[in-house]
Every structure is written in structure tokens, then in C-alpha cells.
Structure 1
Amino acid sequence: MESILVLIAAPGSRAIGVKTADMLRDFGAAAPRWLAEGEALEVADFGGRNAAIAELAGLAIDVNVVPAANRRKRLLVADMDSTMIEQECIDELGVMAGIGEHIKQITARAMRGELDFEGALKERVKLLKGLDAGIVDTILRERISFMPGGRTLIATMKASGAYTALVSGGFTPFTAHVAAELGFDENQANELIVADGLLTGEVGHPILGQQAKLDALRRISAKLGIATADALAVGDGANDLAMLGAAGMGVALHAKPQVQAEARHRVNHGDLTALLYLQGYEQSAFRD
């Protein structure tokens, strides 16, 4: 199967220059197709690909090999925390409860795959018992910021007819807000149980973890009448691995070491627009 080598740098960095293109040609590549001058280019697979990739190692450039066939995806399934937003929402709740560092440590271990996701979620939510539920609105207003490139990713894929879903192991008040702000077609997450305006320390069942994310990918694909090979999935934590592996294009975005090791595609320097370059979009086709 024909493959494409895609190089992506951080927006505005211009880290991919003429010398990079010349180096690729020295290893046998054809003339590159620039997706964004100085930021993204692609070349058809070539005999010296592995040597060229080794030469690029250590530079501030993401290097990925993608199949040429079925490259532009019809479905996006995205994680939320540390993927579409820059924060972990449960950590922000912990900060408001005065136990931020303790909860952050549990979150970090769960996202690295060191703890069972469901058990770790229950443990953290239990620590939030008695917190005013209205604090969610304060967090959304004051502490949540969107990952660069997310709005462009959603708008551009939807303009090409793709369906977009936000599927999170976090909580519905946050996914509803993020989905509405960024333009997702649907969102799915866990339910924080509230009584008399306070968090009860419990989370609704069933808990949405790794299997549920995979199930969501399959469910939405079936609803659209497409194969999971027609989907792009993106995430950063261990609970994203199943859906990243099942999607036609699974991308680890600034991800934990285990996820980077297992995912087929990795983005460590670019932002969310890198997912458009991986699909072959030129910057001139981006929508906002």
C-alpha cells in the first residue's frame, strides 16, 4: 500500500525549511508538497525513508507515515481533557476543593495507565463530596482554555462533511460546554451526581472508560454507515488506547509515554491542526 511521509512543526515556528526538503531529496524523495510553508509538508514514500526519519530525530518536527488510501476521514472522535482543552477537569475541581495536588497525582497515574481508570475516577470523585455543584460554572468561566487548533480542526472537517464527537472520561457539564463552543455534533461523558446543590461524591453508572470510548467509536461509525477505518481518533491518556487502535487514524496528541509507544501516529510539536495535515488538508483549506 502506498504511504505518505508527513512532516509537521509547531504553528509559526517555520521549523521545516528548504534544507529539510533538500535533505529528503538527498535520501531519494520526490519533490515535496507543501501543506503550509515552513510548517507542514508531505512526500510520497521512498526508499531512503527510514534513514531520513533517523536524520530528523531530535528536531522539533513531528514525523508520521500515513496510508495514501482513505486518508481523509469522515468521523472524528476526540478525547476532551488535555486534548481539546488544556486542563484535566477533575483536577480543576480538586483545586476548588482544596485538594488539587492529591487529585492531580491520581489523575497522572491513571492517564499513564498505572491505575485502573474506573477505580481511580471513583476515588477522586469521592474526595469531592460536599463541593458546591455551582463551582463547575466558575471553572468553565475562569479556568478552562481550549487547545490551539481545535476550533479549526472541527470546522474544517465538518465543512468536508465529517461528523464530530467529543467522548470523554470526564463529566457531562464540561463536555456539553466544550462541544457547544467548538461545534461538535455530539458529546458523551460521565455524570457527576448532585443532591441539594452539592456533589455527593458519586459518579453515575456505567462509568465511561476505555471500553466505552471504543464502543462509542463503533456505535457512531455504525450510525453513519461507515467503517471504523473511516474514523480519526485523538487522545492523550491510557484510556484512549483502545479507540486509537481501532480508528483508521489514531493520533496521540502530546500524550503520555505509554500512549506514544502504542499509537500509530504522534503529534508532539504541532497543535490540533496537525490532524488536518495528516489527512492531507492544505492550510489554505482551513476553516475557522
Structure 2
Amino acid sequence: MSKPIDYVATFVAGRGAGLNERAVSGALYDAGLIDAGRDWLAEGLAVDAFLSVAGHDLADLRSRLLAAVADDPIDVIVQPTIGRRKKLLVADMDSTMIGQECVDELAGLVGLREHVAAITERAMRGEVDFENALKERVALLAGVTLAQVETLLTRITLTQGGRQLVRTMRAHGAHTALVSGGFTQFTEPVAARIGFHETRANLLEISDGALTGAVVAPVLGREAKRAALIELRDARALPHDATLAIGDGANDLDMLREAGLGVAFHAKPKVAAAADARIDHADLTAALYAQGFRREEFVD
């Protein structure tokens, strides 16, 4: 009986780039590894390299392979071969499933985009407390009307690969949730556009058709995101390894660490360094390739 393969390294080309055998072989060689077989998931875009390296530390394997592709527009996700297909997806919204930070977009309506964006950047880097930073930014939005919010919704752009990620996982029996430190006025329509089963987010206080500048308590932040993942996982009696979380900011860190596979997507340095996996170059379909899905299995 052949020896089981312990780990798989999934190589995914960055957006606009390509992938070939030489690049994969070179990365494995530089990392001091020999693969035990290849499986191309999408020709020229994504490939699984199976690694028979019993006794090796997973964190060390990840570090070595990330270093090996550091100069190339290639992402590599290393994980055990068992349990790759996930049954729960929990994803952040702003700068993850969409291309904007909604609070910054709202601030643009009152001429404070640059000021608010600077606070947002510090919060996402983990330099300031998320809850206090959120309250500070929302206080500046008093008077923005719901009609203005509706206009902003037409400018929200979905991140490439997000619909495919959510709809493909749903088609294979996974539950999907958009869990955001943002606001329900944005998460609900975005979740509907992408195809999420449900969403969790903060609620802006409204009076006479306009924002009051307050967030309705409790504020959904870093710990609440982790708690949401645990609640959704336990409600379905899923094991830890059956969960996938994706985010980009410091308020996603606890959620990423709680997941069976936590993916930092085009993330802030602190988040990318702490996550199990990172997507720095490719779009969100990389999270499907990481689960072993072939391109022809994607639901567009």
C-alpha cells in the first residue's frame, strides 16, 4: 500500500500572470522539497504539488515555499491534504469581497474622505482600537441621508472571483456568511449580489431618513467576528478543519485564527504574517483552487 501524501502546496498565478512547470519546480527546489505528484487544476493558472514530508512542521513548509516565490507574482497555499474542502465560509466585506471601504465612501459625502481613510488604515493595520475608531468615524457622518447611501451602493464594485468562490462553495454544500465590521446598509445588498446565505454587520442609527452619527450597540468588531464563526460552525456541528475564513484587516485576525484555514487576502502586513495562508497576487478564486476545485467546477 502506498504511503499517504501528507501535504499539498497549491500554486496560483497572480492576476494577469501565468504559471508553468519550470516556476513550480524551481520554487520546490529552492524550498528544498520534492513533490510526489502534480495535478493541474487550471492549465497555466493553478496546480497542486503533493508533498510527502512526514514529520515536517507545517509552518516551516509554508515559510520556505513563501520565500521561494517571494519575487514572483505567484501565491502558494500549503495545507494537509485531508479536509481541504470546507463546509463553512466566513468572509469579511470591505477590501475583501468588495473593492471599497464603505465608511470611507460615506465620508466622501461630507468632504472628509482623506481624514476618515487615514483612521481606517490605522485600524486595519491594528494600530488603533477598532471599536473606538469606528465610533469616531461614524460620528463624522451625521446628516448623511439614506438617499445618498443608496447612490453609493451603485458605485460598489465586487472583488474578482468573489461570486465564483461563494456560489461554487454553496453548490457543493457549504454555508456562506458575510461577516463585516461595516454596516447593514451595505452588507445586505452586497451579500445578495454575491450569493451569501446570510450576513452579520453593524447597524447605523437612523433618524428622519439620515444618519445620526451613532452605531447601534453592540459593535461588531474583532471578537464578534470570531464569535460569529464559532456560532455558525457549532450550529452545523462542523469540525474546526471544515471552516474557511477570509479577511484583510486586523479586526479579522481572531476570525482567521479560529478557522480551519484562515486566508489573508491582499492583506495588511500584520494580518498576512499571522494567517495560515495568504493571497497576495491572485483573485478570490485562489481560495477555490486551495480546496482542490478545478476551473471547470466553478459556478460563475
Is the shorter-chain TM-score for this pair beyond 0.5, marking a shared fold? yes
Gap change, CA 1:174 and 1:3, over 3 Å in 2: same
Query: Whole-Å Cα distance in 2 between the matches of residues 150 and 286 of structure 1?
Result: 11
Please tell me whether residue 42 in structure 1 is matched to residue 24 in structure 2. no
Correspondence list, 1:52-71, <5 A: 54-71=67-84
Deviation at 1:58, TM superposition (A): 0.9
Deviation at 1:46, TM superposition (A): 4.6
Q: Which amino acid aligns with 1:159?
A: A
Deviations 1:95-148 (A, max 9, x none): 11111000000000000000100000000000111122221110001x210000
Query: Whole-Å Cα distance in 2 between the matches of residues 20 and 152 of structure 1?
Result: 26
> Could you tell which deviates more after superposition, 191-200 or 129-138?
129-138
Of the candidates 3, 9, 13, which is equivalent to residue 13 of structure 2? 9
Please tell me whether residue 164 in structure 1 is matched to residue 167 in structure 2. no
Contact 2:34 2:51 in 1 (8 A): no
Q: Which amino acid aligns with 1:7?
A: F
Contact 2:28 2:68 in 1 (8 A): no
Deviations 1:198-235 (A, max 9, x none): 11000010000011101100111111121232110000
Gap change, CA 1:116 and 1:53, over 3 Å in 2: closer
Aligned residues with identical type, % of pairs: 49
Gap change, CA 1:30 and 1:53, over 3 Å in 2: farther
Q: Which amino acid aligns with 1:28?
A: I
Which residue number in structure 2 is paired with residue 177 of structure 1? 189
Contact 1:11 1:39 in 2 (8 A): no
Query: Whole-Å Cα distance in 2 between the matches of residues 70 and 97 of structure 1?
Result: 48
Q: Which runs of 5+ in 1 are unaligned?
A: none
Contact 2:75 2:280 in 1 (8 A): yes
Of the candidates 248, 251, 272, which is equivalent to residue 236 of structure 1? 248
Deviations 1:17-52 (A, max 9, x none): 131244367552233211111111111115696766
Q: Which amino acid aligns with 2:295?
A: Q
Question: Per the alignment, in what secondary structure is the counterpart of residue 144 of structure 2?
Answer: coil
Gap change, CA 1:160 and 1:195, over 3 Å in 2: same
Of the candidates 188, 194, 198, which is equivalent to residue 210 of structure 2? 198
Of the candidates 247, 262, 268, which is equivalent to residue 280 of structure 2? 268
The CA RMSD measured in Å over matched residues stands at: 1.7
Correspondence list, 1:134-153, <5 A: 134-141=147-154, 143-153=155-165
Q: Which amino acid aligns with 1:124?
A: R
Q: Which amino acid aligns with 2:185?
A: P
TM-score by length of 2: 0.91
Query: Whole-Å Cα distance in 2 between the matches of residues 53 and 215 of structure 1?
Result: 30
Please tell me whether residue 18 in structure 1 is matched to residue 31 in structure 2. no
Which residue number in structure 1 is paired with residue 139 of structure 2? 126
Query: Whole-Å Cα distance in 1 between the matches of residues 151 and 215 of structure 2?
Result: 20
Question: Per the alignment, in what secondary structure is the counterpart of residue 267 of structure 2?
Answer: coil
Correspondence list, 1:68-83, <5 A: 68-83=81-96
Question: Per the alignment, in what secondary structure is the counterpart of residue 134 of structure 1?
Answer: helix
Question: Per the alignment, in what secondary structure is the counterpart of residue 36 of structure 2?
Answer: coil
TM-score by length of 1: 0.95
Please tell me whether residue 110 in structure 1 is matched to residue 107 in structure 2. no
Corresponding residue pairs, total:
286
Contact 2:27 2:69 in 1 (8 A): no
Please tell me whether residue 186 in structure 1 is matched to residue 192 in structure 2. no
Question: Per the alignment, in what secondary structure is the counterpart of residue 38 of structure 1?
Answer: coil
Query: Whole-Å Cα distance in 2 between the matches of residues 147 and 53 of structure 1?
Result: 24
Question: Per the alignment, in what secondary structure is the counterpart of residue 147 of structure 1?
Answer: coil
Query: Whole-Å Cα distance in 1 between the matches of residues 182 and 255 of structure 2?
Result: 16
Contact 1:217 1:228 in 2 (8 A): no
Please tell me whether residue 91 in structure 1 is matched to residue 104 in structure 2. yes
